[in-house]
Amino acid sequence: MTVVERREIALVDLLDRLLAGGVVITGDITLRIADVDLVRIDLNALISSVNEAVPSPFEEVV
Amino acid sequence: MTGLRYVYAVCRPFGTPLQAELTGIGGAPPALLHHHGLVAVVSTVPEADFSEEALKAHLEDLDWLSAAARAHEGVVDALTTVTTPLPLRLATVFRDDSAVRTMIEAREDHFRSLLDRLHDRVEWGVKVYLEAGPAESADTAQAPAPARPASGRDYLRRRRESSHAQEEKWQRAERFAHGLHERLAERAEEFRLHPAQNPALSGTRGQNVLNAAYLVSRKHSEEFVELVDRTKDEAAGIRVELTGPWAAYSFTGEAKS
């Protein structure tokens, strides 16, 4: 098989899978900390905080 | 300090032992918890880090999140070398082994059907980027004098041309990505389209046009990888990136495609 060079996995690729994928277990667990919404909200907060620091390269004054 | 049970994945029993040096979240060695013919791969994590409050704060800390995500993936990746694991979402934690067993009992049919569907299959990630063209940077960097517009009208004309050229590049990249996706989807059993990645977060060059995941049997993976490899030089100004093989994280929901 073709060996795909395995550089260090990018964090975004991990987060695409670990925060948006994987089996979600909610319900009658003792702790409801794996709640999807909680994780999504926090990731959104994280992304928007990163965005504020880096303006869009396509923003043009017309 | 009390410990909680962190669950990485659920598998069918497998004969090979885990690598002795394998560590999970916080450096703890993962253990196998057998129950009802299934295996939960677990490790002990400190309650101080995984209580609801603490976790909420941790998830906003990019360094903590990154370390946890890499540790989670490290364990799941080790499992893919010996079996086909069903990965759980990051930060799935239970009070103790007994709560993990109760969870398995409540979901064993679902786990079994997912494990059957994913058996001997892996996930490949394919991303397409529109590269920032060398022409634009050369214009501004190397030839500032001729690039200076002679008049306001001239300036506006150039602005229109430049944005028109950018639009055409986007359309070309999207057509390429669409064509590539069609070819890859044909070879895959299922696919998922993830939202385009934010360049600020990914830190990669270019604009992400396609961010897809494909479920492919191990048997057909070589062919799939070669197909992606061949497309890499097909279009100028467009970059194709392959990641994987991953455990089938993107395919643990209901089958769609």
pLDDT tens-digit series, residues B184-223:
999 999 999 988 887 766 777 888 999 999 999 999 999 9
pLDDT-derived band at A52, boundaries 50, 70, 90: very low
CA gap B171, B185 in Å, rounded: 21
Domain boundaries of chain B, sorted by first residue: 3-118, 121-251
Could you tell me if B84 and B119 are in contact, meaning their C-beta atoms sit under 8 angstroms apart? Answer: yes
Instruction: State residue B51's pLDDT score.
Output: 78
Instruction: State residue A60's pLDDT score.
Output: 37
B232 and chain A in contact, CB less than 8 A: no
Distance from CA of A10 to the nearest CA of B (A): 7
Instruction: State residue A19's pLDDT score.
Output: 82
Say which of B95, B200, B252 has its CB closest to residue A23.
Answer: B252
pLDDT-derived band at A34, boundaries 50, 70, 90: very low
Residues 44 through 63 of chain B touching chain A, CB cutoff 8 Å: 50-52, 55-56, 59-60, 62
Could you tell me if B78 and B19 are in contact, meaning their C-beta atoms sit under 8 angstroms apart? Answer: yes
Distance from CA of B200 to the nearest CA of A (A): 6
Instruction: State residue A56's pLDDT score.
Output: 41
pLDDT-derived band at B252, boundaries 50, 70, 90: very high
For helices A11-18 and B62-80, the axis angle rounded to 10 degrees is 70
pLDDT in tens, B154-168: 888 888 888 888 888
Global confidence as pTM: 0.81
Chain centre to alpha carbon of residue B3: 29
A6: Cβ contacts below 8 Å, ≥ 6 apart: none
A5, HSE (Cβ side, Cα atoms, 13 Å) = 3
| Chain B residues within 8 A of A44 when measuring between CB atoms | none
Question: Which residue type, as a one-letter code, is found at position B136?
Answer: E
For residues B13-24, give the mean pLDDT. 92
Question: Which residue type, as a one-letter code, is found at position A25?
Answer: I
CB contact under 8 Å between B99 and A34, yes or no, is no
Give which of B41, B42, B36 is closest to B109, Cα–Cα: B36
Do strands B238-246 and B121-130 pair parallel, antiparallel, or not at all (unpaired)? antiparallel
| Chain B residues within 8 A of A3 when measuring between CB atoms | none
Residues listed for chain A: 62
A–B CB contacts, 8 A cutoff, strictly below: 147
Average pLDDT value over all residues in chain B: 88
Could you tell me if B42 and B36 are in contact, meaning their C-beta atoms sit under 8 angstroms apart? Answer: no
The CATH classification of domain B121-251, taken from the options 1.10.10, 3.30.70, 2.120.10, 1.10.260: 3.30.70
